[in-house]
Amino acid sequence: MVDYIADYLENIRERRVYPNVQPGYLHKRLPSEAPQQPEKWDDIFRDVEDHIMPGIVHWQSPHMHAYFPALTCYPSIMGEMLSSALNVLCFTWASSPAGTELETIAMNWLGKILGLPDCFLNEKNDSPGGGVIQTTASEATLVSLLAARTRALMELSKLNPDVQSSELLGHLICYCSDQAHSSVEKAGLIGLVRMRYIESDENQSMRGDKLEEAIINDKTKGLVPFWVCATLGTTGSVAFDNLREIGQVCGNHSAWLHVDAAYAGSAFVCPEYRHWLDGVELADSFAFNPSKWLMVNFDCTAMWVKDSTALHRTFNVNPIYLRHENSGKAIDYMVGTQNSNTKKRLVNVETKEDQKIISNGSKSECYPNGDSSHDEDGDEKLRNLHGYNKISPGCGTQIQLENPDKKEPLHWQIPLSRRFRALKLWFVLRNYGVMGLQKHIRESVRLAQKFEALVLADQRFEMPQPRNLGMVVFRLKGDNTLTECLLKRLNARGYIHAVPACFKSVYVIRFTVTSQRTTNQDILDDWNEIKTVAAEIITEMFG
Ligand code: PLP
């Protein structure tokens, strides 16, 4: 298997990146029943090349330009192999001390490599902040939303003790840009809260003024803004929301700020890209995927929070079989007890109540139940429930959320069991070093710049959005059907693979430099393939 993997990766350029199979192809080739008797490994393995490989999209190929990178590398694969062999479930410190401690150490290393502020690190174990490896960016977003929801409900319940939390829930509202990933919408659906999409500016960036306007408008309707998701590196065009402006608005209204940097987060290993992190100290949680561009194979989402007690309050269960004595000396990522003196949190609920109402224009709003008529303004009861009306008028009240004498279980995630993912992250950080990782990121960006120059030099093509980092969005000038046809034909030929995006009804092809194996020649070959197919289409359509 090791030889097979090495040969596969070294010779991947020779494989057609996109498979030439139809839905159901495998059903026709494999038996419909599992074997009664054990089969020989050689027979099983032969089927991998004969039947499985023909249906694989080769994500590690230099000609893979779809989505965002989902890279792996040898140290990561070896980490995965060892982790599979050990197969420890690192939910508490006691369930595998090295698993837990290595995760804390690797996440501190990674946080420092990215230049995150100290408040997100957990170096002495008495700081409320810290990092945790989640499975996906979607899960990190959901965890953050749920933690913020709990915080908001606790504050509201204190001010409205007679009101059921299910009723309070109906008044919560959260925000993201119209460019945010669909996983943000999904988090809102699961969290049963309404979500407002803020119209992004001409650079696809969410700005503070539009957010502030929407929040003020919603507050006058008796709604309670509690969570904002900012994106660093949007899926459509790698655009960046303005973190400092958004952070200040969140501070004014006591809303939790989550930063989703799923793809672009890896770029922050290079100091020259950290200007997009300006204002990150105002965030409550931050997540990115080393499993995308940093070559740590899927799954691995790095998430940091400023206050892990907010997660603990959200996922608070504490069965006896998971109570172990680590006496607060180490993190338990799922459940455990920790000396709560270190966890006593005071939440400043001072908010700036701006009575000025500004029209929120045409922004859309999504309701979990799809009922857009649900709870509009004017309901007196609803206004009375509006906790921020009660706690906001500049009183600066401090609400104590926890009993400081209690031993508290700590929860950092939704599942109980967790894989030993820190091993592969640690192997990659050590085997590449910071400089090796920086070299990898810079090379991808250089190759994307090369592709960008080729596109811009050809009069038949245009780039509706500027290139950011390793992604170029481009199209054939003219009607959308030209570019749609180009992409369809490119994918059918299978030499390169890309996916589309749409900006305000303009159809584009996303071309992401993914593989660490991509060379100058690969970029030239891919561009020649694109030009050849484009010429065919133009001739067919216009003669
Ligand atoms: N957020 C952004 C900005 C993304 O681009 C993506 C996927 O590409 C996600 C979230 C979802 O990532 P995951 O598959 O890790 O949930």
pLDDT-derived band at 308, boundaries 50, 70, 90: confident
> Distance, CA 485 to ligand 1 centroid (Å)?
27
pLDDT digits over 242-284, tens only?
999 999 999 999 999 999 999 999 999 999 999 999 999 999 9
**Residue found by looking up tokens 């925000």 in the block:** 175
Question: What is the per-residue burial (b if ≥16 Cβ within 10 Å, else e) of 250-275?
Answer: bebbbbbbbbbbbbbbbbbbbeebee
Tell me if residue 49 falls in helix, strand or coil: helix
**Please, what is the average pLDDT of the chain?**
85
Total number of residues shown for the chain: 543
Q: Is residue 111's pLDDT more than 90?
A: yes
- Tell which wins on pLDDT, 522 or 387: 522
Residue 471 CA to ligand 1 centre (angstroms): 15
**Spatial distance between the Cα atoms of 45 and 49, rounded to a whole number of angstroms:** 7
Which is more confident, 295 or 414? 295
> Could you give the CA distance from residue 291 to residue 289 in angstroms, rounded to a whole number?
5
- Taking only the tens place, the pLDDT of each residue in 67-100 is 999 999 999 999 999 999 999 988 888 888 899 8
Residue 366, pLDDT score:
35
Distance CA 341, CA 320 (A): 22
The model's pLDDT over 387-445, given as tens digits with 9 standing for 90+, comes to 333 333 222 233 333 333 333 335 677 777 788 999 999 999 999 999 999 999 999 99
SS3 180: coil
- Mutate-to-test residue for ligand 1 from 71, 139, 181, highest number of ligand atoms within 8 A of CB: 181
Ligand 1: lining residues by beta carbon, under 6 Å: 68, 136-138, 181, 183, 231, 234-235, 260, 262-263, 289, 301
**At a CB cut-off of 8 Å and minimum separation 6, what does 44 contact?**
none
For helices 480-493 and 520-542, give the axis angle rounded to 10 degrees.
130
Angle at 402 between CA 396 and CA 404, to 5 degrees: 110
Among 65, 232, 235, 300, the mutation site with the greatest number of ligand 1 atoms within 8 A of its Cβ is 235
Find the 181 Cα to ligand 1 centroid distance in Å. 6
- Taking every pair of C-alpha atoms in the chain, what is the biggest distance, in angstroms? 81
Predicted pLDDT of residue 322: 52
> What is the rounded CA–CA span in Å between residue 283 and residue 278?
11
Nearest-atom index, ligand 1, CA of 299: 15
Distance 235 CA to ligand 1 centre (A): 7
What is residue 326's predicted lDDT score, i.e. its pLDDT? 58
Ligand 1 atom closest to residue 235's alpha carbon, by position in its atom list: 5
Average pLDDT over residues 171-194: 96
Query: What is the C-alpha to C-alpha distance for residues 454 and 397, in angstroms, rounded to an integer?
Result: 59
Tell me, in angstroms, the distance from the centre of ligand 1 to residue 398's CA.
36
Tell me which of 129 and 337 has the higher pLDDT. 129
The H or E element spanning position 448 is: helix 422-456
> What is residue 258's DSSP assignment?
E
pLDDT-derived band at 318 (thresholds 50, 70, 90) equals: low
Grade residue 181 by pLDDT with cuts at 50, 70 and 90: very high
pLDDT bucket at 46, cuts 50 / 70 / 90: very high
Candidates 188, 409, 422; CA nearest to 315 is: 409
pLDDT above 80 (res 370): no
CB 390 within 8 A of CB 161: no
CA distances from 248 to 65, 129, 251 (A): 36, 20, 5
- At residue 394, the pLDDT reads 29
Cα 234 to ligand 1 centroid, rounded to whole Å? 9
- What does the pLDDT average to over 15-27? 94
Q: Summarize the confidence of residues 351-378 as an average pLDDT.
A: 32
The rounded Å distance from CA 437 to ligand 1 centre is 21
Tell me: cis bond preceding 178? Omega within 30 of 0 counts: no
Q: What pLDDT band is residue 346 in, cutting at 50, 70 and 90? A: very low
Ligand 1 mean position, distance from CA 289 (Å): 8
Kindly report, residue by residue over 325-340, the tens digit of the pLDDT. Answer: 555 566 667 543 343 3
Average pLDDT over residues 440-457: 98
For 136-167, the pLDDT digits (tens) are: 999 999 999 999 999 999 899 889 888 888 89
pLDDT of residue 334: 58
ipTM over 0.85: yes
pLDDT higher than 80, residue 22: yes
- With the most atoms of ligand 1 within 8 angstroms of its CB, the residue from 65, 68, 138 to mutate is 138
The whole-number pLDDT of residue 384 equals: 35
Distance 324 CA to ligand 1 centre (A): 35
Helix/strand/coil (H/E/C) assignment for every residue in 81-125: HHHHHHCCCCCCCCCCHHHHHHHHHHHHHHHHHHCCCHHHCCCCC
Least confident of 303-307, 320-324, 524-528: 320-324
Mutate which of 260, 298, 471 to test ligand 1's pocket (most atoms within 8 Å of Cβ)?
Answer: 260
Q: Is it the case that residue 347 has pLDDT exceeding 60?
A: no
Output the residue whose Cα is nearest ligand 1's atom 5: 235
The number of the ligand 1 atom at minimal distance from the alpha carbon of 301 is 15
Give the whole-angstrom CA distance, residue 527 versus residue 520.
11
Atom index in ligand 1 nearest the CA of residue 263 equals 5
Q: What CA–CA distance (Å, rounded) separates 117 from 303?
A: 14
